[in-house]
Chain A
Amino acid sequence: MKSIRNKLAIAACTVLSQGAQQANATEIDTSYLFYSEADDRVTVNKIITKTKTPLGDNDVISLEAVYDTVTGATPTGAVKSVSTVSVTTPSSGGSGFKTAAGTPDLVEFNDTRVGIDVGWVHRHSRTFKMNYGASVSLESDYESYGGSLIFDKETSNRNLTFSAGIAGAYDTISQRSGQTPKPMGDVQENSGNPEFFGKGNKRSYEALLGISSITNRRTVTQLNYTISSTEGYMTDPYKLISMTDSGGVEEKRYYESRPENRLQQTLYSALVHQLKNKNTIHLSYRFYLDDWDITSHTFDYKHRIKFTKNYYLEPHIRLYTQTAADIFQSSLDNNQPLPEYASADYRLDEINSVTLGTKFGMPAWGGTLRFRLEYLYQSFAEAEFNTNKAVIFQASYKKEFN
């Protein structure tokens, strides 16, 4: 008779070591974020709560709720005027345009956003997962509804994961009054009665392909490709563009106008590597291209330095560079006919930006407490306000509940 005892012992050990005592913990991660731009421009206060609850072994439900308030002033796109140009605030609705003479090149605002994101991951087999997502975001002048579906398939040794997915969103946009100005409409037309329409809307469709690989015991690499197509109203209903003479003196103002179609492509690659001393590096590069002629490159590097017992410090640097959109013009030329599309929005200008910061993590009350402090510097090639500086502070707390 042959002995099966050792094989049986190994089999029993396997079943007992991985039996019933699995972590079916609910994870809650709450954070407060403060973003403040220099010169009393935009200030954002944001509260984010994320929860993740496993339902049995094959399902995970996640819920993310965001509440933020945005206050301050942002450039309208108009040139800093010398002469007084009065700007109307369209009909009813809260703050519209700053009407103080002389500087209506900033628009003041004060808005509150509530966003809810629901996700459901369902494991169909050991190596096949489906991710379902739905999101809603509501502000007085912007509403967005989205959904997504992503498949994840792992190889049987789990070293490679292939992902494929689709997503869609439907957004409505207006000024707070619920109206949108006529694109390239003259702000002062009919002595302060420019033409307005109802809410604008846009629809976007996205497809995603990804692969991630456990290259070795300490290295994970990832490559994602995303293509998205948006159609509809993409103009910013608050943004203006000035028409100036050859000397740069403003003559007239127009509402900006953007195309109704946009095709965007992104290639994202990332590498996470654990060094021999247990420190971890996160390196990523993102390449972006769209048919408005914007090309951008983002380099991101984080280096997590581990101290004892879950204390860590994580310096972070991010470099970003972007070419200007073909529709970007800092102002309109009074010798030329009005273009169909033009925007002086600094976000469509050529941009170079640097983010420097650090994160600190520590254990607290059975969970993890994290603080992040970052400084952002952006420079714009032609935009009227050609720099932006901001600080970002975030405090987060994460804990698991059984």
Chain B
Amino acid sequence: MPPRLTKEKGYWRGFFHAMASPCEILFATENRSLARELLQQSYTEAKRIEKKFSRYRADNCIYQINQSNGTPVLVDKETAHLLNFAEQCYQLSEHKFDITSGVLREVWTFDGSDNIPDSTAVEAILPRIGWSKVKWFESTITLPTGMEIDLGGIGKEYAVDQTAKLIFKRLKTGVLINYGGDLYALGPQQNGEPWGVGVDDPEATGVKQIGAVNLSKGGLATSGDARRYLLKEGVRYSHILDPTTGWPAPDTPKAITVIANTCLEAGMLSTMAMLQGSQARSFLEAQEVDFWCL
């Protein structure tokens, strides 16, 4: 479906689907053709990033790396930058944010049921997780057989920030980019008012809001558990898995929303906070950022 553009009061609203999410861009301008052109460029960029970094495709470098069976793979500059970033996040989160943790999906399926995996099955998968087992040097990545990487935890936020950069070159008035809940505001609305962003109640997404945020400039991201969890014997198992144990981080908040300079930072802080489980709030307080923790 090609991107759609509709006129709203004071702005043009662009909409399309990419990266398995609804994507929305609000352009604070009256100039329709400029909004259309920027929307088209944004759509192309989002699709490019999706195609390049999606682990669901068989024609990109992620697939090539995941199918490499222990042989070194040379990556391009952009992928190298993202891998460097992922590595820094791995270290900053004390190994809790790990792009190799995706193989846990083989045992964990978060469908709301009580389907908790066997602890030996979880145990058996742990040797295939851990960025420290990956050789990453000079644009060349060597992934041990059986391991996989997934940039899904970074890609959408990265696309938001890259799109903001792209739009900023042409439009100096305000823009709000919202890709499936990962946001970036480039400036306020035409009347100078900040954009109003509603924070959803994770248990009633789209129906009930539990707060509103005013955003003029900066990134905002939300990590949450809305409909992806397991429930057994009264215990809620979050879909946020700790790669160091293979089990959901205990006592995670239902949702965390963070505001930071960029969408990438906001996204990483909310994800890392989730992985802190019951410590999420004190982790966020130490970061001195605006956040909502439910």
Binding site for B on A (CB under 8 A): 1-5, 7-9, 11-16, 18-22, 56-58, 123-127, 156
Contact = CB atoms under 8 A, between A and B. Distances in A.
B251 to A, nearest CB: 16
Interface of B: 45, 48-49, 74, 76-78, 80-82, 84-85, 88-89, 92-93, 138-140, 158, 161-162, 165-166, 260-262, 264-265, 268-269, 272, 276, 279, 282-283, 285-289
A125 B139 contact: yes
Contacts of B45: 20
Nearest to A56: B76
Which residue among A11, A15, A123 has the maximum number of chain B CB atoms within 10 Å of its CB?
A: A15
A3 B138 contact: no
Contacts of A16: 158, 161-162, 165, 262, 264
Contact of A1 (B88, B139, B285): B285
Contact of A14 (B76, B81, B269): B81
A212 B110 CA distance: 57
Contacts of A2: 286
A188 to B, nearest CB: 66
Contacts of B78: 19-20, 22, 57
A7 B94 CA distance: 13
A5 B264 contact: no
A15 B269 contact: no
Contacts of A7: 88, 92
B92 A4 contact: yes
A155 B162 CA distance: 31
A292 to B, nearest CB: 45
Contacts of B285: 1
Contacts of A14: 81, 84-85
B77 A22 contact: yes
A56 to B, nearest CB: 6
B176 to A, nearest CB: 18
Nearest to B87: A11
Given A1-B279, A5-B265, A16-B162, 7 more contacts: A1-B276, A4-B92, A8-B265, A13-B262, A57-B77, A57-B78, A124-B74
A8 B91 CA distance: 10
A4 to B, nearest CB: 4
Contacts of B140: 125
Given A8-B268, A12-B85, A15-B85, A3 B287 contact: yes
A8 B269 contact: yes
B81 A12 contact: no
A124 B81 CA distance: 17
Given A56-B76, A57-B76, A125-B140, A12 B264 contact: yes
A1 B89 contact: no
Given A2-B286, A124-B74, A8 B89 contact: yes
Nearest to B83: A15
A9 B88 CA distance: 11
Contacts of A18: 77, 81
Nearest to A4: B92
A125 B80 CA distance: 11
Contacts of A125: 74, 138-140
Complex A-B, nearest 5 residue pairs according to Cβ-Cβ distance, in ascending order: A57-B76, A1-B286, A11-B88, A126-B138, A15-B85
21 contacts: A1-B279, A1-B282, A3-B288, A9-B261, A9-B262, A13-B262, A14-B85, A15-B84, A15-B85, A16-B158, A16-B162, A16-B262, A19-B78, A19-B162, A20-B45, A20-B48, A20-B78, A21-B165, A124-B74, A126-B138, A126-B139
A25 to B, nearest CB: 15
Nearest to A127: B138
A12 B268 contact: yes
Contacts of A13: 262
Contact of A5 (B48, B80, B269): B269
Contact of B76 (A5, A12, A58): A58
Contact of B264 (A4, A15, A21, A123): A15
